[in-house]
Chains A and B, each alone.
Chain A
Amino acid sequence: MNITINEEDGKVRASVCGRVDTTNAEQFLQGVKPLMEIEKPDIEIDCGELEYTSSQGLRVFLMLQKAVSAKKGSMVLTRMRPQVKEVFDITGFSNIIRIV
């Protein structure tokens, strides 16, 4: 798992690649911490290279969405692979996290 974050004109673009699972969910959480600390979050996360997430990864996405919503910011996940999308769909996470 690897996460990169870039900021340009107030808009934050991040990308996550590889697998997020029980072995590295904590590392993923630390990786997205800077996104949780943005004052006015306007975040786009490219999930095109995200191969896999278990419920441990969902937990981190949920914490991130809660932090962004608490600041009335916006977050969108893009290019999600169908199998990963299915995990978000089954758990109803697609209803609370914007995926395009």
Chain B
Amino acid sequence: MKHRFEPLEGRNAEIIESVMGCEEVAGLSEDIRFKIRLCVEEVEENILCYSGSTWVEVEVLRSENSVTVKFSDGGVEFDPLSKEDPDVNAPLEERQIGGLGIFLCKQMMDSVEYRFENHRNEFKMTKRLK
């Protein structure tokens, strides 16, 4: 599956459903689908908040042992992986919500990669299939 979403604003639900409904993801286990849904939402939300891009290209690739989701956007260079992980042991009073989405993504996927190339933010995440 490969699709370009433009404009980007307000398309989150549509982007998630197009990934969840594509043939590469449709037949996966409930557990893997949950994780993909969550990570797609978090990455997408991150792009919307920080990149300022008016579009995003989403591609899903499937091999026998893994599924990969790639995001590409034309916004300002922003590496979500450069942010410090949130302190998950902080007491209630000190808890912040920022950074949790990408942290969840790092924990739930088997690999996450970011690069800035040809004026594009490229974010790639892969989940191994059992």
Q: Give A contacts to B, CB under 8 Å.
A: 21-23, 52, 54-56, 58-59, 62, 65-66, 69, 83, 87, 90-92, 95-96
B59 in the interface (beta carbon within 8 A): no
Q: Does B38 lie within 8 Å of A87, measured CB to CB?
A: yes
Known contacts being A59-B97, A90-B107, is A54 close to B13, with CB within 8 Å? no
Question: Which 8 residue pairs spanning A and B have beta carbons closest together?
Answer: A92-B88, A55-B101, A55-B100, A59-B97, A96-B92, A83-B34, A90-B107, A54-B41
**Alpha-carbon distance A65/B95, docked complex (angstroms):** 11
Q: What would 20 more interface pairs be, CB under 8 Å, given A23-B13, A66-B92, A66-B95?
A: A21-B16, A52-B34, A54-B45, A54-B101, A55-B101, A55-B104, A56-B45, A59-B97, A62-B95, A69-B92, A83-B30, A83-B31, A87-B104, A90-B88, A90-B104, A90-B107, A91-B104, A92-B87, A92-B88, A96-B95
In the bound complex, residues from chain A placing their C-beta under 8 Å from that of B93 are: 66
CB distance from B39 to the nearest CB of A (A): 9
Inter-chain CB contacts under 8 Å: number: 59
Q: Give B contacts to A, CB under 8 Å.
A: 12-13, 16, 30-31, 34, 37-38, 41-42, 45, 86-93, 95, 97, 100-101, 103-104, 107-108
Interface of chain B: mostly helix, strand, loop or mixed: helix
Q: Does B41 lie within 8 Å of A91, measured CB to CB?
A: no
Q: Does A52 lie within 8 Å of B107, measured CB to CB?
A: no
| Complex: chain A residue closest to B38, CB-CB | A54
Q: Does B97 lie within 8 Å of A22, measured CB to CB?
A: no
In the bound complex, residues from chain A placing their C-beta under 8 Å from that of B41 are: 21-22, 54, 56
Known contacts being A21-B41, A54-B41, A83-B31, is A91 close to B100, with CB within 8 Å? yes
| Complex: chain B residue closest to A63, CB-CB | B97
